[in-house]
Structure 1
């Protein structure tokens, strides 16, 4: 198969129409359509269902699309390995991290990395969903559990300790709990919504020291850890938060210091094929250096 035809097919599948693919490639719609029809005749299978609202891949088209996607990914990786040197890492690096680590830990440190490696351009995707690194939805991920995929390189970064916090203004008004039983008389704020269960579990002050079937009332539930942090800081109630997000915050204090609280290990993971890519190597080393003080 002609690579140029496969690349054109890939662009059409991505765009979902001959017209949009043609605009991207600098070709007219009829020319793109002829090339796709020629490829279908060559392969002796239909690649698209043609509808008035656009194109939909056939089963054969989907197989070819995934193959083309893999070819493009490998070409890009090879190109990166050929043009990069360890002395001057360069290029785009797509990083995904959980909301807390991405927004409250990594984003605070990214300026230092960019000063060290000005030719690297980072796209940070903050989400608690685990993007598929094998399909290159991201190059590097920072996760709060070990990856299950066997073909990913993993490096433990640090332990994320979760503690109970309250604003000074809250403690002045309602007092400070010294035991889990005391929480029965306090306002609870917590993370909720469509989150991974292992992340929700570390935020559940409502059930700590109680029967899970009889939880404490939750006075404020939010599906974003940044919003939860702001709620705690403003005095809405007592909530769980990672230590790195509250360290040095003059508006809050840790409560329930004698109560054992949960923790999660964080990992940097990336595909085996990116092992020797310089921008990945320096980003890995940078994260490890910044994680040292939180390593235990």
Structure 2
């Protein structure tokens, strides 16, 4: 088992180049520092310092040993900071941005739960589909959906989403069920902000251009149109799950369902996350895992 005795004293002397200054730094007597260092040298069977009446300096072996000991002590400091942060109550401003619909349906209620637990927090949530600059605009956290663009941000996967293609029973009874991607061109496909849908075809992702007589930038409006039998839609599961479960919408082309996409938390690259951001990340991760 590793013997820690003398390590702190050795590092203090190496950095101060003085037994007296090291003792002042550690708050113990010079004699105690000297005894601990001497015992360490005896245990290691090597000389760690050159000592003169005017100067103390590390030997070649001492310099190597110092580098390793410094890393160990830094690791201990890091561990203590982590424990301190775990015990700290989050406080101050917490600024978050998330996409509008997913933010309204899922993220904002979870953040509200978090804010209710920690009344010393001041929480600002901006729901927008624009990709905001987190650093320039002072955001602690952003929720992003799907494929991430390259950036200098740190990313943590919180959950995933699945895209479904659906139609109402009334639409399918009138216009038939599409059994292949090529048959979509014979159907009224209701569009969102893009004119293509994403599928998996023979193990590869494929974008299929679709068209129809209705387009809207609101997923809720497209769901309503599909339930009323106007056409077929492709939307993420959080729009559709309840309507699939109660039979108002029927999943289609399941063999070509696109792979799961990530739901991500992005935050600026910092060595030490503040307690409020780290605890919010943990809260969102646990809550979203339980939603599955």
TM-score, normalised to structure 1's length?
Answer: 0.56
Matched, 1:244 2:235: no
CA distance in 2 between partners of 1:204 and 1:85 (Å):
42
Matched, 1:90 2:87: no
Q: Hey, what does 2:221 align to over in structure 1?
A: 227
What is the DSSP-based 3-state SS (H/G/I as helix, E as strand, rest coil) of the residue aligned with 1:189?
coil
- Cα gap change, 1:279 to 1:229, in 2 (>3 Å): farther
What is the DSSP-based 3-state SS (H/G/I as helix, E as strand, rest coil) of the residue aligned with 2:94?
strand
Q: Which has the higher contact order (CA 8 A, sep 6+)?
A: 1
Query: How big is the shift at 1:189?
Result: 0.5
Query: How big is the shift at 1:135?
Result: 0.9
Larger radius of gyration: 2
Q: Hey, what does 1:186 align to over in structure 2?
A: 187
After superposition, the CA RMSD in angstroms is 3.2
CA distance in 1 between partners of 2:180 and 2:274 (Å):
50
Report if aligned partners of 1:104, 1:245 keep a CA contact under 8 Å in 2.
no
- Cα gap change, 1:256 to 1:140, in 2 (>3 Å): same
Report if aligned partners of 2:196, 2:210 keep a CA contact under 8 Å in 1.
no
1:149 aligned to 148, 151, 158, which one? 151
CA distance in 2 between partners of 1:88 and 1:280 (Å):
11
Query: How big is the shift at 1:254?
Result: 1.4
Report if aligned partners of 1:96, 1:142 keep a CA contact under 8 Å in 2.
yes
Aligned residues: 198
CA distance in 2 between partners of 1:153 and 1:215 (Å):
33
Q: Hey, what does 1:166 align to over in structure 2?
A: 167
Q: Hey, what does 1:128 align to over in structure 2?
A: 129
- Cα gap change, 1:119 to 1:246, in 2 (>3 Å): farther
Q: Hey, what does 2:277 align to over in structure 1?
A: 280
What is the DSSP-based 3-state SS (H/G/I as helix, E as strand, rest coil) of the residue aligned with 2:234?
strand
For residues 233-287 of structure 1, the C-alpha deviation after alignment (integer angstroms, 9 at most, x for no partner) is 4433111111132222233221111223254322201123494322211210011
Report if aligned partners of 1:191, 1:203 keep a CA contact under 8 Å in 2.
no
Query: How big is the shift at 1:187?
Result: 1.3
CA distance in 2 between partners of 1:94 and 1:266 (Å):
18
CA distance in 2 between partners of 1:231 and 1:121 (Å):
39
Unmatched runs of 5 consecutive residues or more in structure 1: 1-83, 193-199, 206-210
For residues 123-149 of structure 1, the C-alpha deviation after alignment (integer angstroms, 9 at most, x for no partner) is 322222210011135221011333533
TM-score, normalised to structure 2's length?
Answer: 0.57
Query: How big is the shift at 1:219?
Result: 1.8
Unmatched runs of 5 consecutive residues or more in structure 2: 1-84, 200-205
Q: Hey, what does 1:177 align to over in structure 2?
A: 178
Q: Hey, what does 2:76 align to over in structure 1?
A: none
Q: Hey, what does 2:266 align to over in structure 1?
A: 269
- Cα gap change, 1:137 to 1:222, in 2 (>3 Å): farther
Report if aligned partners of 1:97, 1:141 keep a CA contact under 8 Å in 2.
yes
